[in-house]
Amino acid sequence: MALFAGRRGATVGGDGVVGSGRLTGVAVSADGRTAVSGGADRAVRVWDLARAAAPRMLTGHGGPVYAVAVSADGRTAVSGATTGRCGCGTL
């Protein structure tokens, strides 16, 4: 996945590909500083949009991640996979 920021569309990390599979979910924090993505490669990626840093990977799902969300305060991410398993992590 490639993210773009700013009015000029500067790339914020990524190469257009999410691991070995497709992107299946994206959520952005209320303040617009963090994005969370999930994919068929079973990983959750945390994107720091404010610093244009490479994404931090969170692993542990046994199947493709199809749902991601960020809490209203932007401190927690949750994810759900096709296995029925959910994950929760501090951002």
Smallest CA-to-CA distance from 34 within 81, 76, 86 is with: 76
CATH level 2 (architecture), domain 4-90? Beta Barrel (2.40)
Closest-CA residue to 1 (of 37, 42, 43, 33): 37
What is the per-residue pLDDT for 52? 74
User: Over 70: is that where the pLDDT of 17 sits?
Assistant: no
| Helix, strand, coil percent values for the chain (each to nearest 5) | 0, 45, 55
pTM of the model: 0.75
The domain ranges of the chain are: 4-90
pLDDT at 11 exceeding the cut of 50: no
pLDDT, averaged across the chain: 79
Structure-token pair, residue 58: 């969170």
Q: Is the pLDDT of residue 62 over 90?
A: no
